[in-house]
Structures are given as C-alpha cells and as structure tokens.
Structure 1
Amino acid sequence: MTENKVGFQNGVSDFISDINPRNTGTGMAAGIFGLSAGVVMISAGQAAGLNPNFIIAWVTGQFLLCGLFGIFIPTYYRQPIPMATSIPGALLFTAVIPSVGLGPALGATLIAGVLSFIIGKSGLMGKLIHYIPSPIIMGMVGGVLLSFGLGMITPLENAFIPAILMISAFFIVTKYLPKFPAVLGALMIGLLYIFISDISFTGVEFVVNYPSFVLPEFTLSAFLAYGLPLTIILIGMETPAGVGLLKSVGFKQVPTNGITSANGIGTIVGSFFNLHSLCIAAPMTGICSSPESGKLEARWVSAVIVGIIFFVAAPFYGILVSLLEITPGFIPAIIAGLALMSVLITTIGGSLGASNYKMGALIAFLTAASDITLLGIGSSFWALVFGVVVSLFIETADFKQQKFERYDKNGEESVQMAK
C-alpha cells in the first residue's frame, strides 16, 4: 500500500479546527529555535570569507524555501514534519566554496537533490529504515538530542536565576495549568528577562538581501568533495533522525519515502538560488511532535506554524540576526531542552530499556552523543552504522527473532512474516 497522505484538500479548514494553545506554543518554540540556526550559518559563511551580501541572501533564501515547504509538507501528510536546512550540510557548503567555486558547489547540490529524490521515490528509503532495529534508531535519536537536554541544565552554572525561573515556570505550568503549553510559559519568562535586563538594542538594524536565480555548474571534484557527502547527510542522517522521532512518539505510518523525496525536490530547487539543502528538521520535529503539542492528530499544526514563522521572518532576518546576537544564548537552549524532555524520555528509554539490541542501541546512543565527524559525515549516520554492526556481531539472535515486513515496489508495508 502507499504511504498515508491526506493531501491539500481542506488544509486551511483543518488547520483552523486543529489549532490550539498547545500546538501553537510548541510551534512558536520550535520556530524561534530554528531561526537561531541561521546564526550558525552566518558564522560559517564569515569564517569561510564569503561575501556578507551573499551570506544574508543565502540565509534569507534558506528560510523562505524552508518556510514554503514547511507549510506544504506537514499539511499534505497531516504530520508534524517541520522542514529546515542541514547544518552539517551548511558547514560543508561554506567550506568547499572557496576551493571548488560557488557554481560547481551548487551543481553538486543539484545532484545530491536528484539522488535523494530518486532514493525516496523508488521506496529504498522506507525499506532501509524498516530493517534498522527500532532500539538502535531510538538510541541514535536519543544521542542526537542529548546535547539539547544538557543545554537546558548547563546555564544553571552561569545564569542561575533566569535559568531556574524558566525551568520552574515550565514545571509549575505543567502541574497547575495542564491545558496551557508549558514551553510557552517558560518562553514568556525568558522574554520578560530580556526586556527587564540591561540589554542595549542600539545595534539592531534592518538588512534585506533576496536570493537570485543562478545556473549550477558541474564538476566531478565538486561532487566528490560536496555532493556525495551531502547525499549521505540527507539520507543517512537527516531523514532517519526525523523519522525515528516521529515513530518514537506514536506515529505508526511515517511517510519516510515522501519525506526523502521532498528533501530532494527542495534541494534541487534551492540549487538554482544559491541554497544548499532542504530536509526534515530533527530537533524541531522532536519539539513539534512531542506530547507538549497535545493530541497526536493535531500536532501537524505546530510544524505548519514553524513554516509560517520561517517564511514571514525570512525578509527580516537581518534584524533577527541583530536581536539574536544580543539575546542570551541560554534562552533558546533552555526552551529547546524543555520542549524535548518528553522525547528524550521516550527515545532513551526505548533504546537503553529495550529487551533486545541492547548493545547496539547503547553504541548508537554513545556514538550520536559524541558528535564525532568521520570522513566528513556526522555522528548520527555513524551511530546507525556502528549500532547495526555491533548488534549483527553480538546480538545475532535478536535479528533472527525479529519480525520483518515485506514491502511492495513503492517501499510500503504489504505482508508480515517471521524470520
């Protein structure tokens, strides 16, 4: 059977009927967190010596693209699938431009998008995800998100008062106002702290640079240096992390192939506008799909809110960068950690507390948490590789007892069988 999708029909009316304070709160928290990632991109561009006008146009274009896809994709599937850009891909993109040139880097981006689209459309991605044991996927996701949980605690050392106020607000709202989004309560305390503290807004300025149409160029060296690693990042890191998160919180039919294809289409489109990638955003998926967003069937609204925030904020990102630069970094860190707590409980518990694949799940968790980079590829990919290899060697009996599902040519479930 094909992947579950609702389509765009009644999208607006369903959005209006499903929106509530809980998914609005997590959508706002995820959107603010996602906007802060642009600062990382700007820093990477500056470190690579790229033109400042290009950097602003690049970041602005990325948020416009992610905003558009971030509105349409979760609406189409009615699942919390926020779309963003790959930060590892961004770091690699800025690093290779001085050596291979912008045109060839965009050509390599185009090829990576095409490959991602083909892998998703063929159904291979769905089959691959299905045959990776769930505890290992959860271990990888838990390791990826662990840093966000730690980022919620570490500010207690140097910013104890605002940090403890935000964290306390979250738990107080959770206990006494269960219908109000606790993350939004913590965010309100953080914003109040900004306005009452001695922070100068004099450096805030308005800068706008929109992306322009370009024709990519193609060279083998650029593909090997950037296109191939980007392909692996998109299908080996970004998609598995996002899909694993959705499954961990209770979404049974996750459109793995559709997400992979959408990543490819967005990356292809972006390559003609000086952009480097589009993909499902794992940390924001964790926030939007968490129990903090309320009822499972209405959590998709939070992802659409993220898309709206990105699209509306993109032209004003010059101002946002200035605001983010004067905003204490612990505020978005605490918000992200609080929003992901329920997901961390589910993923870490589902991996380390599983009855099988224990060693592989632990190795996946530790590898992902280490944030290592090997051969230019990030830790979440290697977490899956090392976790599966260790389980295959140590826990062979678990694989023999596992129930597999056959897939049709589209990579979807058809028949269950025991092996």
Structure 2
Amino acid sequence: MKHIEKGAGLATAPRDFLRDLNADNLSAGVVAGIFGLSAGVIHISAGTAAGLPQEFTLLWVISYLMINGLFGLFLPAYYRLPLPMANSIPGALLFAAVIPLVGLNEALGATLIAGAIALVVGLAGWMSLVMRLIPMPIVMGMVAGILLKFGTNMVMPLQNALVPATIMILSFFFAARYLRRVPPLVVTLLVGVGYMALSGADFSSVTFTFKLPEFIMPAFTLEAFLAYGLPLALILVGMETPAGVGLVKGMGYKSAPANAITALGGFGTMVSAFFNLHSTCIAAPMTGICSGPEAGSHDKRWVAAVIVGIIFVTAAPFYGFVFSLIEAMPSYFIAIVAGLALLRVIGSAMHMTFSGKHEVGAMFSFLIAVSGIQILGIGSSFWALVLGAGLSLLVEFRDFDFSRESRGSQGETATAR
C-alpha cells in the first residue's frame, strides 16, 4: 500500500461536504449525474445490437449505477478531488459484443482477471511509468478528440430544433454574463424543462419499476481472457486512468492519485464481475464536468463528484423509470446541457494538446480519437494513446526526456532516505 497516494481522509468528509456544498458544485454534480444516467442508453443500445436479453441489459445498467455510485462516494471524498466513478464505455461495447461469443459467465471471469491486473498495477505504483510513457499532451489530445463530439452534439440541434436549441444555448451565456450569482447550468436546465413543459412533451410512456443488482458467479476460459479480459485491462490502465488524471490536471489541480484511481478501479472491477458489470473506473466526461470552471472554486469541486455518486446510488433501483423518463425527453436536451458543461474543458484540453511538446504525437492522438476507428475490436480512445505515444517515441524522442525523469526520481529517493 506504500504506493497509494495519501488523501484528506473520510473522518470529516460528511461535515466538509455540507460546508463546501454550494449552487455551483450542486448544479455541476446534477448535470454530470444526468449525463451518467443517460449513458445507460449506450449500454442498452449495445446490448440490443448484440442480441442480449432486455432483462440482462437492465440489470447491467442498474449494477453500473449502484456499484460505481458507491465507489464514487468514497474516492472524491477521501481525496477532496473531483473524481467521479463510472465504467468504461469502450469496455461496455466490447463486453456486449463478446458475450454471444464466449458466454456471460466467461466474460465476467475475464472481467475479474482484468480488474486484478489493474489492482496490481495500482498497488505496485506502476502508473507513474505509464503516465511517463504517455505524456500529458498525448493524453489531452485523446481527451480533446473524445470530448469534441460533445461540443458538436451541442450545436447539431440548431439544424433540426433551432428554437429550443437557441433558447437553451443563449440562456447559458446570458446567465454567465448577467446572472453571476446563479450557475449558468441551472438556468439552462430550468429553461429547457420550461420549454418542454410549454411545448407539450409527452410523458405518458413513463413507467415505474424497482430492481436491485443480482449476484452471478464468473467462469474462466483462456479464450474469454484473450478476446476480452486482456484488452479490458489495457483500457483500464492505459486509457481510463490517464484520461481522468489528464482532465483533473488540465483543470489546474497540481496532482491526481493515479495509483489509487487505478487500484480502486481494479478492485471495483473485480466486485463488478459478480454483478453483471464489466468495469469500474474514473469517468472522463463526468470528470470534465465536475472539475471544470462551472463547478465553482477549486477546493470545493469535489462535492460535485460526490453528488454524482449520490444520484447514481439513488437512481439505480429505479433505472427502468429513469430510462423511460430520459426517452420521453427530446434528444437535444441532454446533448446541449452536456456540451455547455464541457465547453471550457474542451477548450482547455485543446490548448494543452497543441501548445507544448509532443506536437506530432498529440496531433495523431487527437485525430485518431476524433475518427472513432476500431482496430481488433478496441475503440479509438485506446489506440489514440498507444499510436500517439508510439509515434512520438519515434520522431520526438527527446521530448520524453527520460534521463531527467530518472535523475529526478533518484533524487527524490535519496532525499526520502
């Protein structure tokens, strides 16, 4: 445990949460929570496309919210940092696709092994090496490429829903300019809900359901591990943690507990394997929302991440109801709110990508992430980091400056002794 970073602790977390709670981090947490709830649609779509039973898909999403919500309560509270937890979307797509090929129990067995690998990497303190091999400009290039679609999705409704999209977007900037005591995201949410009420949105299809996660015993095969477990481990260690750490640092925080994030995600993934869930990890888009300027002052943004955990745990048993409610809303509603929440985060990521070293690697990382390509069934986020870092090692080796890093590490070790 010596490599796990120390945090502020949990003893005073409830008191500090109430002390630091304000309109800014509350609104950011609610937006991030709504975004996380809407991500369940991706799981349902992936499950449907793979021909998985609807009952399993619903349990999958309920476990995603409940388990990740519980872990998401403790990580940001312990470190007092905006570190919301969710699951890997690339991992979700791979999970749904591999179940018909290897079986559900076998896929969950591979999940358990992938989680164990991530746990060992975190406990051993190897994330510093991973982060050194994948420099920040390349990480932020991947992040900018992934988040860019949220920006384009925000403006796309101007094409087919011009009036509500214009009203919601303008309300955000009007509030930012003239209503400085009211968080702009709150104004946008209220304006969007008000417009839906006045335009007569149909909520007649909304139904009430209640369901809890169910236990399942994983099974183990080499085929499932090679087809799914190993790629998932690489995604958790090489993509999810660097993306989350990059976002937090990009928002002005000096450090982020990369080893702890990886270890906790690995342990959470091992727990997930017994409840129809494929992974637990830091949530990059929600981290962007919770750590961004819209969440208020730096020292209080951690509250937004805890609010996400509260929303997840509360909503999990009722997700059938939540899903039917989301389906009743116009698609532009969540797209516009999420895009506005991430607007300044996207700008910061773009700036960090193109204003320093590793220019070639960062550019390729950005382009690969934007492209959405899949190689060997693994999504563009992972390959953006791998190929971006590989190309930078080839043509920009001096930018890595391993010798200086090594001397710095030796110096720190000598000082500690």
Which TM-score band (shorter chain)? over 0.9
Q: Determine the structure 2 residue equivalent to 1:304.
A: 306
Letter in 1 for 2:183: P
1:24 to partner: Cα distance: 0.5
Q: Percent identity?
A: 52
1:5-404 aligned at under 5 Å gives the runs 5-354=7-356, 356-400=357-401, 403-404=404-405
User: Is there any run of 5+ residues in structure 1 with no aligned partner, and where?
Assistant: none
Deviations 1:175-218 (A, max 9, x none): 11223211121111111122222322221112233222222111
Distance 2:399 2:50 in 1: 47
What is the rounded CA distance, in whole Å, between the counterparts of 2:376 and 2:409 in structure 1?
34
Moved more, 22-31 or 202-211: 202-211
Give the direction of change, closer, same or farther, for the CA distance of 1:413–1:120 in structure 2 (3 Å limit). farther
CA distance in 1, matches of 2:390, 2:95: 30
Query: After TM superposition, which residue ranges in structure 1, 4 or more long, deviate above 4 angstroms?
Result: 400-403, 405-409, 412-416
Report if aligned partners of 2:144, 2:349 keep a CA contact under 8 Å in 1: yes
Contact 2:210 2:319 in 1 (8 A): yes
Q: For each residue in 1:329-377, what CA deviation from the matched residue of structure 2 results, as whole angstroms up to 9, or x when unmatched?
A: 11111111111111111110111122x2222211111111111111122
Higher mean C-alpha deviation, range 31-40 or range 170-179: 170-179
SS at match of 1:360: helix
- State the one-letter code of the partner of 1:146: L
Which deviates further from its counterpart, 250-259 or 123-132? Answer: 123-132
Paired with 1:415 and 1:128, the residues of 2 have a C-alpha distance of 23
TM-score by length of 1: 0.94
In 2, distance between residues paired with 1:83 and 1:77? Answer: 13
Aligned counterparts of 2:109 and 2:43: Cα–Cα separation in 1:
20
RMSD over aligned Cα atoms: 2.0
CA-CA distance at 1:403 after TM superposition:
4.7
Q: Secondary structure at the match of 1:273?
A: coil
User: Letter of the aligned partner of 2:375 in structure 1?
Assistant: L
- Residue 96 to residue 414, structure 1, CA distance change in 2 (3 Å): same
The alignment of Structure 1 onto Structure 2 pairs a total of residues equal to 413
Shift of the 198–247 alpha-carbon distance from structure 1 to 2, 3 Å rule, reads same
**CA–CA separation in structure 1 for the residues paired with 2:98 and 2:4:** 39
Q: Which runs of 5+ in 2 are unaligned?
A: none
Q: Matched residues in 1 for 2:376 and 2:98: separation? A: 14
Q: Distance in 1 between matches of 2:66 and 2:384?
A: 31
Q: Distance in 1 between matches of 2:228 and 2:341?
A: 33
- 1:53-83 residue CA offsets vs partner (Å, 9 max, x unmatched): 2222221121111111111111011110110
The whole-number CA distance in structure 1 between the counterparts of 2:278 and 2:5 is 27
Report the secondary structure of 2:405's partner residue.
strand
In 2: Cα distance, 1:8 partner to 1:332 partner: 33
Question: CA, structure 1 residues 408+117, in 2 after alignment: closer, same or farther (shift >3 Å)?
Answer: farther
Moved more, 217-226 or 357-366: 357-366
For 1:282 and 1:257, the matched residues in 2 are separated by 16
TM-score, normalising length from structure 2? Answer: 0.94
